[in-house]
């Protein structure tokens, strides 16, 4: 619900369980008043009167702009007395940078805007657009607030328009700002590395600016484009949290700033470092969308709010809740060293086990036998596969499997036909030795002809072969930020234009090949973000497939992404990344908490393992609806406990599925019984736990719990829980 009170000039936005209030002050500044638990519309008037008027007093016109530092601004600018970080910096022809934005008008429309060329919320009930105009320049700003009445998430983004006759430069254009009236928060983020993605870290919020960011041209392994302000001592089930997530995959920033007035300003969007966008007369610049999620019931509520929103409003509805193919991928089975003779037995075995799709990973193209050549040459490596892909696809078909193929569309190897033809298509300065990553360079996707070329070569392969799945990889960070095609004054546009090119290619391929299921990947989980999820319903969570480490990676990822977005594979032991050996049972259990698959040489399974995998896949297919549409409850943290436990619960609370992994055997546990509380079930219902042959009420399960089994290191269990009618 979005309401505007003409008398108090107050905007009241109400979604599921939250309200957001702002007003137009006397000096026509757009002021923030409230964000939190769903207060009533009439409470907004109180806020306007008491809080709005205080702010007004601070900024009454007539030379008192210096008090702007005390305002809670909806879209703060620079140079007129607000000394916190601004959202926007406009450089005019004479070099002046200050602006003063004031309210002009607003509009409330049904639905969500259709943003062209960028990932965005697909549906909502209403959108509020507030227009602000700069007193000093020809800049007009459109602030958008998108509300779904049944969603915990408020979506925001900003458009900047040049309404004058001369171009100017946008040196900073964040998507949103949120000023909260006190600073008693901790800052939560998901930091990481390749093979250790999205680990939760919580630190007290001190004075000054804390900046979370990526400068890598991708959202990155190192920091996820997400943050949350948490009230002190927040738990999974209690306490206030304010989460923010960017629907963006390029270089980004989120800052939290505690000012001396005791407020905290949270803001974020495109990374401002080296960013500069030339905006011509009449042109509009659109920022990425951000999602704000408020939870009064702890981190669990925050995660479920984000997960529901992504499944309902961002991920392609055609796939969001649809049964996914169970895959086998040949990467860890063969790496680059394969031929028909090595691949066929994997396919044969996959067919016996109930696997749906065989995916041919890296090494099938150009002359690629190692990671030092051929990216860009998207035609078959006929030294390795003399008759091309046809015999593999035919073999899959004969065995009842579908076929998937790996691509790394955004990359180029110096040792490639493409590079020999178009060295300037690589990002970087010609004649200056480039920074190499995994022996490769990044293609300049800010150039239309480059995107067109890649679309052409990929389309050829995809239309000439029966391909039902594509794994879209991206294996290095961007560097040498220079495009041979951009004018000097537009070099600051490169990273954003690049990601727009990536989005365009994804969009074009998806609409040209609507039957193909696209999975995202970036050297593991290096581009696991809501922007990518708009195009790819699932993303390879990490190259680390060790079930011990995966418990942590999947746990961390679940703070703001649904489990259905996480691609999770069972791989061989000893694990290729860690050398650790974990039972097949545990590997299967942990991989069942996501879009499951296999990543090992199936032809080497023993008879016993073969039976076990067959049973795992059959069992997975039964609980898959919970993975796709259920609610996740994190029960025991792998970062804090010796046990990792998560539970998926159907929306109607009639079914649940628990996975537990004993990370470290705990001999002390034999003297100290530990009960696992199953929060998330309906207390009034009666449940049967299949594996334990126990019937208990939801109230007992939630408030007393079930005894955790004592298992050896990396031992695991699964519990299937159903309502007893
Ligand atoms: C990345 C991916 C892997 C695999 C390799 C192929 O590391 O994350 O899954 O596809 O590239 O080179």
CA of 340 to the centre of ligand 1 (A): 20
Segment 550-565 shows an average pLDDT of 98
Binding site membership of 717 for ligand 1 (Cβ less than 6 Å): no
Minimum CA distance residue for ligand 1 atom 7: 523
pLDDT at 64: 57
For residue 603, give the 3-state DSSP assignment: helix
pLDDT recorded at residue 58: 66
pLDDT digits (tens, 9 = 90+) for 437-461: 999 999 999 999 999 999 999 999 9
List the residue whose alpha carbon is closest to atom 2 of ligand 1: 523
Cα 471 to middle of ligand 1, angstroms: 9
Q: Is the CB of 406 under 6 A from ligand 1?
A: yes
Check if 413 has its Cβ closer than 6 Å to any atom of ligand 1: no
Which of 194, 330, 361, 577 maximizes ligand 1 atoms within 8 Å of its Cβ, making it the mutation to test the pocket?
361
Based on the number of CB atoms within 10 Å of its own CB, is 214 exposed (0-12), middle (13-18) or buried (19 or more)? buried
Between CA 60 and CA 67, with CA 63 as vertex, the angle to 5 degrees is 60
In ligand 1, the atom with minimum distance to the C-alpha of 599 is 9
Which of the following is catalytic: 179, 473, 529, 546? Answer: 473
**372 is known as an active-site residue:** no
With a CB cutoff of 8 Å and minimum separation 6, the contacts of 4 are 10, 11, 12, 106, 108
Q: How many helices (H) and strands (E) does the chain have?
A: 14, 38
pLDDT at 262: 86
Q: What is the spatial distance between Cα 571 and Cα 63, in angstroms, rounded to a whole number?
A: 67
What is d(CA 620, CA 627) in angstroms, rounded to the nearest whole number?
A: 9
In the residue annotation, 61 being an active-site residue is answered as no
Q: Is the pLDDT of residue 54 over 90?
A: no
Q: Is 519 in the pocket of ligand 1 (CB under 6 A)?
A: no
723, β-bridge pairs: 687
Question: For residue 141, what pLDDT band results from cuts at 50, 70 and 90?
Answer: very high
CB-hemisphere CA count at 13 Å for 360? 30
CA of 119 to the centre of ligand 1 (A): 24
Question: Separation of 293 CA from ligand 1 center, angstroms?
Answer: 33
The mean pLDDT of 484-506, rounded to a whole number, is: 98
Task: Please compute the mean of the pLDDT values over residues 73-97 and round it to a whole number.
Answer: 95
Distance 543 CA to ligand 1 centre (A): 7
Ligand 1: centre distance to CA 582 (Å): 22
For residue range 570-624, list pLDDT tens digits in order: 999 999 999 999 999 999 999 999 999 999 999 999 999 999 999 999 999 999 9
Residue 361, ligand 1, Cβ within 6 A: yes
Give Cα separations from 399 to 331, 344, 603 (angstroms): 20, 10, 15
pLDDT of residue 51: 79
In angstroms, what is the span from residue 473 Cα to ligand 1's centroid? 7
pLDDT digits (tens, 9 = 90+) for 646-660: 999 999 999 999 999
Q: pLDDT value at position 363?
A: 98
Check pLDDT > 70 for residue 247: yes
Per-residue pLDDT at 62: 47
Q: What band does 674 get if pLDDT is binned at 50, 70 and 90?
A: confident
The verdict on whether omega for the bond into residue 574 sits within 30 degrees of 0, i.e. cis, is yes
Rg (CA), the chain: 26
C-alpha span between 440 and 96 (Å, rounded): 41
CA 361 to centroid of ligand 1, rounded, Å: 8
The average pLDDT across 165-187 equals 96
Residue 520 CB–ligand 1 contact under 6 Å: no
Residue 261 has pLDDT above 90, yes or no: no
Query: Residue 691 to residues 215, 665, 676: CA-CA distances in angstroms?
Result: 48, 21, 15
Atom from ligand 1 closest to the CA of residue 361: 10
Q: Read off the pLDDT of each residue in 677-685 and give the average, rounded to a whole number.
A: 97
**Best probe residue, ligand 1, of 472, 543, 599 (max atoms within 8 Å of C-beta):** 543
Q: How far is the CA of 483 from the centre of ligand 1 (A)?
A: 26
Would the pTM of this model clear 0.75, i.e. be above it? yes
- Percent of the chain at pLDDT > 70 equals 98
Please check whether residue 486 is in contact with residue 493, taking contact to mean a CB–CB distance below 8 angstroms: yes
Least confident of 18-27, 214-223, 235-244: 18-27
pLDDT at 48: 87
- Say whether pLDDT at 149 is over 90: yes
Annotated catalytic residue: which of 134, 179, 362, 543? 543
Which two structure tokens, joined as six digits, stand for 131?
């227009």
For position 445, what pLDDT does the model report?
98
Between the CA of 510 and the centroid of ligand 1 the distance, in Å, is 21
Place of tokens 């996914």: 324
**Ligand 1 mutation pick, 375, 473, 540, 568, max ligand atoms within 8 A of CB:** 473
**Mean confidence (pLDDT) of the chain:** 96
Please report the pLDDT score of residue 621 as a whole number.
98
Cα dist. 152→229, 438, 535, 638 in Å? 16, 41, 22, 27
User: Which uninterrupted H or E stretch holds 463?
Assistant: helix 448-464
pLDDT at 672 over 70: no
CB of 523 shorter than 6 A to ligand 1: yes
Among 406, 410, 566, 569, the mutation site with the greatest number of ligand 1 atoms within 8 A of its Cβ is: 406
* Sole residue written with tokens 């709005």: 52
Q: Is the CB of 362 under 6 A from ligand 1?
A: yes
Most informative mutation of 362, 472, 474 for ligand 1 (most atoms within 8 A of CB): 362
The answer to whether the CB of 331 is under 6 A from ligand 1 is yes
Coil, helix or strand for 617? Answer: helix
b/e sequence 306-320, b meaning 16+ C-beta within 10 Å: bbbbbbbbbbbeebb
pLDDT band, very low/low/confident/very high, at 27 (cuts 50, 70, 90): confident
- In ligand 1, which atom is closest to the CA atom of 521? 8
What separation in angstroms does the CA of 551 have from each of 35, 306, 456, 594, 615?
A: 34, 20, 40, 11, 22
CA dist 353 and 350 (Å) reads: 5
Mean pLDDT of the 123-152 span: 97
Would the CB of 521 count as within 6 Å of ligand 1? yes
């Amino acid at each position: 619900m979005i309401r505007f009170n003409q008398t108090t000039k107050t905007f009241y936005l109400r979604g599921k369980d939250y309200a957001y209030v702002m007003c137009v002050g006397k000096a026509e500044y757009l002021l923030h008043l409230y964000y939190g638990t769903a207060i009533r519309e009439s409470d907004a008037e109180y806020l306007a009167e008491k809080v709005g008027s205080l702010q007004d007093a601070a900024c009454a016109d007539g030379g008192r702009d210096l008090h702007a530092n005390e305002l809670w601004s909806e879209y703060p600018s620079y140079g007129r007395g607000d000394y916190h970080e601004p959202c926007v910096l406009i450089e005019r022809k004479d070099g002046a940078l200050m602006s003063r934005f004031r309210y002009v008008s607003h509009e409330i429309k049904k639905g969500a805007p259709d943003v062209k060329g960028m990932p965005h919320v697909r549906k909502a009930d209403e959108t509020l657009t507030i227009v602000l105009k700069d007193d000093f320049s020809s800049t007009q700003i459109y602030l958008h607030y998108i509300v779904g009445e049944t969603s915990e998430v408020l979506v925001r983004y900003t458009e900047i328009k040049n309404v004058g006759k001369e171009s100017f430069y946008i040196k900073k254009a964040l998507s949103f700002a949120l000023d909260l009236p006190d600073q008693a928060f901790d800052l939560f983020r998901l930091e990481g590395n390749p093979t250790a993605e999205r680990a939760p870290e919580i630190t007290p919020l001190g004075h000054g600016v804390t900046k979370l960011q990526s400068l890598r041209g991708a959202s990155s392994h190192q920091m996820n484009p997400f943050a949350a302000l948490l009230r002190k001592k927040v738990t999974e089930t209690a306490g206030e949290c304010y989460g923010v997530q960017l629907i963006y995959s390029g270089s980004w920033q989120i800052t939290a700033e505690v000012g001396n007035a005791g407020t905290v300003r949270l803001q974020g969007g495109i990374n401002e470092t080296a960013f500069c966008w030339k905006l011509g007369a009449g042109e509009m610049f659109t920022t990425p969308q951000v999602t704000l999620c408020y939870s009064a019931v702890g981190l669990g509520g925050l995660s479920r709010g984000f997960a529901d929103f992504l499944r309902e409003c961002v991920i392609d509805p055609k796939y969001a809740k649809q049964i996914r193919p169970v895959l086998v991928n040949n990467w860890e089975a063969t790496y680059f060293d394969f031929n028909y003779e090595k691949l066929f037995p994997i396919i044969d075995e996959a067919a016996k086990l109930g696997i749906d799709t065989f995916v041919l990973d890296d090494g099938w193209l150009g002359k690629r036998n190692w990671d030092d050549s051929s990216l860009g040459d998207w035609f078959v490596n006929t030294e390795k596969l003399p008759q091309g892909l046809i015999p593999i696809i035919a073999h899959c078909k004969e065995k009842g499997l579908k076929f998937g193929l790996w691509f790394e569309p955004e990359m180029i190897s110096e040792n490639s036909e493409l590079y020999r033809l178009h060295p300037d298509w690589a990002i970087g300065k010609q004649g200056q030795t480039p920074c190499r990553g995994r022996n490769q360079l990044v293609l300049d996707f800010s150039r239309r002809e480059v995107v067109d070329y890649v679309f052409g070569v990929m389309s050829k392969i995809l239309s000439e072969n029966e391909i039902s799945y594509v794994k879209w990889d991206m294996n290095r960070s961007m560097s040498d930020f220079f495009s041979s095609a951009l004018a000097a004054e537009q070099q600051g546009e490169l990273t954003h234009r690049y990601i727009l090119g990536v989005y365009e290619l994804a969009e074009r391929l998806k609409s040209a090949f609507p039957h193909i299921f696209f999975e995202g990947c970036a050297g593991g989980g290096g581009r696991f973000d809501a922007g990518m999820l708009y195009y790819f319903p699932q993303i390879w969570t990490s190259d680390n497939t060790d079930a011990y480490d995966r418990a942590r990676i999947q746990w961390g990822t679940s703070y703001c992404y649904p489990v259905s977005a996480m691609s999770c594979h069972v791989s061989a032991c000893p694990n290729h990344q860690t050398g650790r050996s974990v039972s097949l049972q545990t590997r299967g259990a942990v991989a069942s908490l996501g879009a499951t698959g296999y990543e090992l040489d199936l032809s080497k399974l023993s008879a016993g393992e073969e039976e076990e995998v067959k049973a795992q896949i059959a069992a997975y297919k039964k609980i898959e609806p919970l993975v796709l549409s259920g609610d996740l409850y994190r029960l025991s943290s792998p970062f804090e406990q010796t046990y990792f436990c998560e539970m998926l619960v159907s929306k109607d609370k009639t079914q649940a599925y628990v996975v537990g992994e004993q990370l470290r055997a705990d001999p002390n546990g034999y003297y100290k019984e530990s009960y696992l509380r199953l929060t998330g079930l309906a207390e009034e219902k009666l449940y049967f736990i299949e594996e334990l042959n126990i019937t208990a009420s939801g109230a007992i399960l939630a408030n007393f719990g079930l005894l955790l089994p004592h298992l050896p290191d990396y031992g695991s269990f699964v519990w299937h829980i159903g309502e007893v009618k």
